Amino acid sequence: MDKNAVYRTNIIGAGEVGSAISIDMDKNVIHKTNSLFWDTKGNDVLGATSLPLYGAFVSEEKCQLFGDVSGKKILEIGCGSGQSLQYMGERKASELWGMDISENQIEKTRQRLTSSGLSANLICSPMEEKCGIPQDYFDFVYSIYAIGWTTDLENTFCRIASYLKKDGVFIFSWSHPIHKCVVAENNMLIFKKSYFDESWYSVALDESQLTLSDRKLSTYVNALAKAGFVIEQMIEQTDEELMKNDDFSNKAKMLPVTFVIKARKL
Ligand SMILES: C[S@@+](CC[C@H](N)C(=O)[O-])C[C@H]1O[C@@H](n2cnc3c(N)ncnc32)[C@H](O)[C@@H]1O
């Protein structure tokens, strides 16, 4: 695995959040702001986080959450520029589906898969909305650093459950909420915001805006339960082998920067 890939995957940490501006939650405005960011800046500013990495310091190679995906029907929520779908295609998934709010990201995915000799059904839509994805169809639905962008977590998890076959598996990774609260300064870890604060805020990155909120872990767990999932595994630990001697790695030695959940549809 390319070790450099772990960098620029978690730029939005407590440093950026500390200077954020609180805003009202308006789904349409948030979608407009965020899709503009991903249409124009996106991975050029934030970098990509894609399988086999779930985040900076957690990998599928070590965790083996998917196991053998050959012959499986697979959907990615927030497919970004398509690296993870390519990873699944190269492991002989029988059908690849991807969805993303950004036309630009969908186009990047299409180009990447075509140049790798793979094909996928790609849909441009917010994950919160009905968009023609088949129901009771998929063996796996997954999402790498995209679920947290939803403006309606409970509704999104219910939709994802509807796409899965019974006993189908949903795996997602996202920034650990504690990583968003704590900043490393002068060899100390300092709390910059309340873990309990789930309000929406806007962050300026490279002359563009992004809008998001940091949900507590219990918010994810309870929304999964409400949508009819049972959690099979949760990963918070970081893989020391992926770390370097820099501030981000040093922070990750003290607290989780990523969490991953594997859940099964009942
Ligand atoms: C950090 S990227 C993760 C994607 C991929 N793993 C990567 O690193 O390229 C987040 C993706 O979520 C998409 N996104 C943001 N809000 C979304 C929404 N409400 N519905 C669907 N996709 C959304 C963005 O367009 C972007 O491609």
DSSP string, the chain: --GGGGTTS---SHHHHHT-EE----HHHHHHHHHHHHHHTTHHHH----TTEEETTEEHHHH-SS---TT-EEEEES-TTSHHHHHHHHTT-SEEEEEES-HHHHHHHHHHHHHTT---EEEES-TTS--SPPSS-EEEEEEES-GGG-S-HHHHHHHHHHHEEEEEEEEEEEE-HHHHHEEEETTEEEE-S-TT---EEEEEETTEEEEEE---HHHHHHHHHHTTEEEEEEE----GGG--SSHHHHHHTTS-SEEEEEEEE-
CA distance between the termini of the chain? 34
Query: What is the residue whose two structure tokens read 């990201």?
Result: 105
Q: Of all atoms in ligand 1, which is nearest to the CA of residue 9?
A: 8
pLDDT in the model for residue 14: 63
Ligand 1 centroid, distance to 147 Cα (angstroms): 8
Query: Each residue's pLDDT tens digit in the chain (266 positions)?
Result: 444 433 334 456 666 665 677 777 789 999 999 999 899 987 777 777 999 999 999 999 999 999 999 999 999 999 999 999 999 999 999 999 999 999 999 999 999 999 999 999 999 999 999 999 999 999 999 999 999 999 999 999 999 999 999 999 999 999 999 999 998 888 889 998 999 999 999 988 877 889 999 999 999 999 999 999 999 999 999 988 888 888 888 899 999 999 999 999 99
> What is the rounded distance in angstroms from the CA atom of residue 124 to the CA atom of residue 140?
19
Residues with CB under 6 A from ligand 1: 34, 38, 43, 46, 48-50, 78, 80-81, 84, 100-102, 105, 126-128, 144-146, 149-150
* Domains of the chain as residue ranges with CATH: 3-265 (3.40.50.150)
**According to the model, what pLDDT value does residue 11 have?**
52
Q: CA 102 to CA 81: how far, in whole Å?
A: 10
User: 58 and 65 in contact (C-beta within 8 Å)?
Assistant: no
Phi, psi of 32 (to 5 degrees): -65, -45
Distance from C-alpha of 43 to C-alpha of 179, rounded to nearest angstrom: 20
188 C-alpha to ligand 1 centroid (Å): 32
CA-wise closest residue to 29 among 126, 98, 144, 160: 126
Rg value, the chain, Cα: 17
Q: For residues 53 and 59, give the distance between their C-alpha atoms in angstroms, rounded to a whole number.
A: 4
**pLDDT for the residue numbered 16:** 63
Report how far ligand 1's centroid is from the alpha carbon of 187 (Å). 32
52 preceded by a cis bond (ω within 30 of 0)? yes
Rounded Cα distance between 236 and 224, Å, is 17
Pocket mutation for ligand 1, best pick of 38, 59, 76, 128 (most atoms within 8 Å of C-beta): 38
